[in-house]
């Protein structure tokens, strides 16, 4: 007797690695932003609030990626798309107007300079995330 098992994208190597990176970015962005907001919010409120927003987006994406079903797939798509738009917009603004997010130090955000302070992972992660979701659409649909 053979048991039919539904493949889960989370158990694959690529899926597991993606989730680990999202989890690490969640912790990094939330910890950094909370510390900065509590310790010296008045120095750069926009940057610190954007870092907090990035951490929340990473958290939502992480939870959605580990949750089976179509609704979770859609939430992951939306969160990761918001993440990509955020990286591109904030990254471009930080390059165009250097005063908005001074590089290095405590005034930049996770997405500043396309995530350069985070080894460009914030730029690569949403692209890889969307490609992964695209490749796993059928798997998420089966888990509804």
* Cα(40)–Cα(63) distance, integer angstroms: 30
- How many domains, in total, are found in the chain? 1
Q: Which conformational region is residue 3 in: left (phi greater than 0), alpha (psi within -120 to 50 degrees), or beta? A: beta
95 C-beta neighbours (distance < 10 Å), count = 15
Structural domain boundaries, residue 51: 12-142
Shortest CA distance to 68 belongs to which of 143, 5, 134? Answer: 143
Residue 5 lies in a domain: no
Residue 4 lies in a domain: no
Percent of the chain with pLDDT over 70: 85
18, 129 contact by CB (below 8 A): yes
Q: What would the pLDDT profile of 86-134 be if each residue is shown by its tens digit? A: 999 999 998 898 777 766 555 677 888 898 888 999 999 999 999 999 9
pTM, entire model: 0.85
Between residues 54 and 106, the one the model is more confident about: 54
Averaged pLDDT for residues 37-50:
90
Residue 3 lies in a domain: no
Shortest CA distance to 51 belongs to which of 103, 109, 120? Answer: 109
Residue 6 lies in a domain: no
**pLDDT tops 90 at residue 62:** yes
At 15 the pLDDT is 86
Residue 60 lies in a domain: yes
Residue 30 lies in a domain: yes
């Amino acid at each position: 007797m053979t048991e039919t098992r539904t493949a889960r994208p989370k158990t694959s190597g690529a899926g597991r690695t993606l989730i680990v990176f999202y989890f690490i970015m969640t912790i990094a962005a939330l910890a950094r932003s909370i510390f900065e907001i509590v310790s010296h919010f008045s120095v750069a409120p926009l940057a610190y609030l954007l870092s907090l927003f990035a951490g929340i987006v990473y958290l939502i994406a992480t939870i959605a990626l580990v949750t089976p079903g179509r609704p979770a797939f859609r939430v992951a798509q939306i969160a990761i798309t918001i993440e990509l738009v955020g990286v591109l917009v904030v990254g471009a603004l930080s390059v165009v107007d250097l005063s908005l997010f001074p590089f290095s130090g405590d005034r930049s955000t996770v997405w500043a300079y396309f995530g350069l302070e985070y080894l460009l992972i914030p730029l690569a992660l949403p692209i890889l995330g969307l490609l992964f979701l695209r490749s796993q659409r059928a798997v998420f649909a089966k888990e509804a």
